């Protein structure tokens, strides 16, 4: 680093100091601005299920402290000497990653999430300076400009925040598999990811069906743009809908009987998992062979595609359904997410941090 504008500073954050510990006020250091760095004052940070897995130590050891948060929306407050894409005052966002090698074949294609050296996650990672990364439950963050995206004026910052993970995680596979007018799409699960997927797939022109465990959220699903809504606890659903979809997006992280869902695909249909169950699935190849079906996974999206997603959402008026909370209520919010008692994403007002 050759002397940015800004000296490394201690900022306020909320973090845990071990697995299963409660959230508390912590202080973390944000680095000096490198010449390509952008300093962002965070206004809102969404709560993603990944935050909970990480804070609970389910995805590895918990650092002391650990500050989660990878659905970040705020304003640029300072820039490094060579930053060209952003200026002070711009409305910007940061998602699930803050850097990558920039040289491998994935990075060259703009698919930084698939960086062969591993992307640098926004929290619980290690940056190129060897420092642990800390996420968005904080007042400020410093990110290299290539991993910052612009939030269009049409999108309120609080509602834009969840798009940085839930939005891109669902937009990317729908976009990659060319979902559009005439596509018959099923979305499995009506949570944080699922409800955004319904809105996006509908705006892309697809005929959308929600497959949820029960019919409890049917009214919402239809309001968000689904044409049909079925309960998967009802075995008749699988008989009735056999062979009907071109594309199924599974947002559920619990272990499902994937063969039953594959049976709902039409000829050449694809089922994409963005939910990440911890245990292996019992996949029968004969669920794939008869109709030349595919089973795939997908991880967030690249930075260019994330910008495309935000512009798409602004153009089509797509906003996640959110409940804004105080930083004092993060523990309670985690419990409520685990109880599926959220419609549909918690967003922390960082003024309360
Ligand atoms: Zn996430
Ligand atoms: Zn790379």
306 alpha carbon to ligand 2 midpoint, in Å?
17
- The secondary structure of 165-214 as a DSSP string is THHHHHHHHHHHTT--TT-EEEEE--SHHHHHHHHHHHHTT-EEEEEESS
The CATH number that applies at residue 42 is 3.90.180.10
Q: From CA 202, how far away is CA 225, in angstroms rounded?
A: 6
Kindly identify the ligand whose nearest atom is closest to the C-alpha of 106. Answer: 2
CB neighbour list of residue 156: distance below 8 Å, 6 or more residues apart:
319
Calculate mean pLDDT across residues 132-158: 98
| Residue 210 placed within a domain | yes
Kindly identify the ligand whose nearest atom is closest to the C-alpha of 97. Answer: 1
Q: Which domain holds residue 279?
A: 167-297
pLDDT tens digit sequence for 262-272 = 999 999 999 99
Together in a domain, 69 and 213: no
Pairing of strands 345-349, 322-325: parallel
pLDDT at 279 over 90: no
DSSP 3-state assignment of 280?
Answer: coil
Q: Among 152, 167, 166, 136, which Cα is nearest to 40's?
A: 136
Q: From CA 260, how far away is CA 248, in angstroms rounded?
A: 12
Stated pTM of the model: 0.96
Number of domains in the chain: 2
332 alpha carbon to ligand 1 midpoint, in Å?
18
pLDDT at 322 over 50: yes
pLDDT tens digit sequence for 217-261 = 999 999 999 999 999 999 999 999 999 999 999 999 889 999 999
Together in a domain, 130 and 116: yes
pLDDT at 5 over 60: no
pLDDT tens digit sequence for 298-314 = 999 999 999 999 999 99
pLDDT at 70 over 60: yes
Together in a domain, 102 and 87: yes
pLDDT at residue 2 in the model: 41
- Respond yes or no on whether the N-terminal peptide bond of residue 344 is cis (omega within 30° of 0): yes
The CATH number that applies at residue 246 is 3.40.50.720
């Amino acid at each position: 680093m050759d002397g940015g504008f800004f000296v490394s500073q201690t900022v306020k954050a909320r973090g845990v100091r071990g697995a299963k510990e409660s959230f508390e006020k912590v202080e973390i250091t944000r680095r000096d601005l490198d010449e390509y760095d952008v300093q962002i004052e965070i206004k809102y940070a969404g709560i993603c299920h990944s935050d909970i897995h990480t804070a609970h130590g389910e995805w590895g050891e918990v650092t002391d402290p650990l500050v989660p948060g990878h659905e970040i929306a705020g304003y640029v407050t300072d820039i490094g000497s060579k930053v060209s894409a952003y200026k002070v005052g711009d409305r910007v966002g940061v998602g699930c990653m803050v850097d990558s090698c920039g040289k491998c074949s994935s990075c060259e294609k703009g698919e930084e999430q698939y960086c062969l050296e591993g992307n640098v996650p926004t929290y619980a990672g290690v940056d190129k300076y060897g420092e642990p990364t800390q996420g968005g439950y904080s007042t400020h963050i410093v990110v290299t400009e290539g991993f910052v995206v612009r939030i269009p004026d049409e999108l309120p910052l609080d509602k834009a925040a969840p798009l940085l993970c839930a939005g891109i995680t669902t937009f990317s596979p729908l976009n990659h598999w060319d979902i559009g007018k005439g596509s018959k799409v099923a979305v499995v699960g009506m949570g944080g990811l699922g409800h955004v997927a319904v809105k996006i797939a509908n705006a892309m022109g697809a005929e959308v069906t929600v497959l949820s465990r029960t019919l409890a959220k049917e009214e919402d699903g239809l309001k968000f743009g689904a044409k049909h809504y079925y309960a998967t606890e009802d075995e008749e659903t699988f008989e009735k809908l056999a062979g009907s979809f071109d594309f199924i997006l599974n947002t559920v992280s619990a272990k499902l009987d994937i063969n039953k869902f594959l049976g709902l695909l039409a000829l050449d249909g694809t089922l994409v998992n963005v939910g990440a169950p911890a245990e292996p699935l019992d996949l029968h190849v004969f669920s794939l062979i008869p109709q030349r079906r595919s089973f795939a996974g997908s991880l967030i999206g690249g930075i260019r595609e994330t910008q495309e997603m935000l512009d798409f959402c602004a153009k089509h008026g797509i906003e996640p359904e959110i409940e804004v909370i105080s930083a004092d209520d993060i523990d309670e919010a985690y419990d409520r997410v685990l109880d599926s008692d959220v419609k549909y994403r918690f967003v922390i007002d960082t003024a309360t941090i």
